[in-house]
């Protein structure tokens, strides 16, 4: 071990004072770090402790209303975290993911679309289910009572486009019943199809039950029997390209929590 040469008495005293002065702020910093500061501590979540983050979630158009409520509830429970949603048809969201759009999580209205993104997402989990209804103008002026009534050429029917989950489900139920429908338009997402009925530009549309509930007073809903219907599953997953993996995982996990499930089911969604 190397030995430093002895210092004269006055120089040794000065050196000792200098070292002590330097040691005080170091100890203070250590004490502050060990005690922790609530202003700089990471926020807690149901999946562990994660840093607050600004999240972008790509979500199916049929989740527009309920996710705004769910997002507000999540932010309240996770101070410092902001959840931003981008709503569109599931096929459009998938295209955005493939093109590298900056986002943290994805929720689609079908498992087929999510399965097509296996290389882009973590393992998905179904968070809710839905079913189709026939949306009509208030009071159902054309007295539409079942799917077969949509085959009437006098009824202006709007459907979601075939590449959209709601459009694919609609084709499935109509084909199953052998019903031929010629829509006046095919829309890029289910909310656009619903809007056509709300605006009086169509007499009927096949939409999700939750869409009709959200538009209560603007449209009526005709139920479709279970044996003629299709069930839509909504998977959620963290995107592998996220810059906030822990925070994104936390939000996706929270969607299956009792709090989130209560919000979804109050909006008309079924249990996963």
- Classify residue 183 by burial, with Cβ atoms within 10 Å: 0-12, 13-18, 19+: buried
Distances (CA, A) of 50 to 127, 129, 160, 225, 246: 22, 29, 39, 45, 6
Task: Write the pLDDT tens digit of every residue in 99-132.
Answer: 999 999 999 999 999 999 999 999 999 999 999 9
Domain membership of residue 182 (yes or no) is: yes
Domain membership of residue 140 (yes or no) is: yes
Going by pLDDT thresholds of 50, 70 and 90, the confidence category of residue 70 is very high
Q: What is the pLDDT of residue 50?
A: 59
Q: What mean pLDDT, rounded, does the chain reach?
A: 86
- Is the domain of 148 the same as that of 261? no
| DSSP symbols for 173-213 | HHHHTT-----SEEESSHHHHHHHHHTTS-SEEEEEHHHHH
- Is the domain of 135 the same as that of 227? yes
Q: What is the pLDDT of residue 51?
A: 67
Q: What is the pLDDT of residue 49?
A: 55
Domain membership of residue 112 (yes or no) is: yes
Task: Write the pLDDT tens digit of every residue in 145-198.
Answer: 999 999 999 999 999 999 999 999 999 999 999 999 999 999 999 999 999 999
- Is the domain of 189 the same as that of 242? no
% of the chain beyond a pLDDT of 70: 81
- Is the domain of 206 the same as that of 243? no
Q: Which domain holds residue 89?
A: 49-129+232-266
- Is the domain of 83 the same as that of 154? no
Residue 246 belongs to domain with CATH number: 3.40.190.10
């Amino acid at each position: 071990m190397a030995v430093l040469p002895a210092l004269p008495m006055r120089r040794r005293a000065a050196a000792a004072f200098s070292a002590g002065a330097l040691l005080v702020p170091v100890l203070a910093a250590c004490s502050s770090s060990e005690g922790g500061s609530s202003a700089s501590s990471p926020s807690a979540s149901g999946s562990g402790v994660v840093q607050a983050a600004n999240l972008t979630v790509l979500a199916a158009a049929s989740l527009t209303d309920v996710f705004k409520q769910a997002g507000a509830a999540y932010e309240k429970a996770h101070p410092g975290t902001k959840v931003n949603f981008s709503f569109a048809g599931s096929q459009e969201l998938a295209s955005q993911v493939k093109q590298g759009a900056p986002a943290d999580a994805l929720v689609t209205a079908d498992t087929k679309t999510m399965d097509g993104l296996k290389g882009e997402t973590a393992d998905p989990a179904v968070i809710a289910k839905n079913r189709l209804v026939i949306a009509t103008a208030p009071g159902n002026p054309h007295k539409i009572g079942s799917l077969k009534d949509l085959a009437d050429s006098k009824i202006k029917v709007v459907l979601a486009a075939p590449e959209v989950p709601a459009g694919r489900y609609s084709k499935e139920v109509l084909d199953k019943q052998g019903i031929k429908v010629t829509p006046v338009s095919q829309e890029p997402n289910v909310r656009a199809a619903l809007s056509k009925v709300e605006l009086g530009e169509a007499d009927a549309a096949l939409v999700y039950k939750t869409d009709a509930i959200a538009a209560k007073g603007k449209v009526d809903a005709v139920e479709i029997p279970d044996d003629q219907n299709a069930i839509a599953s909504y998977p959620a997953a963290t995107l592998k390209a996220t810059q906030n993996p822990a925070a994104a995982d936390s939000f996706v996990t929270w969607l299956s929590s009792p709090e989130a499930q209560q919000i979804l089911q109050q909006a008309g969604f079924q249990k996963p």
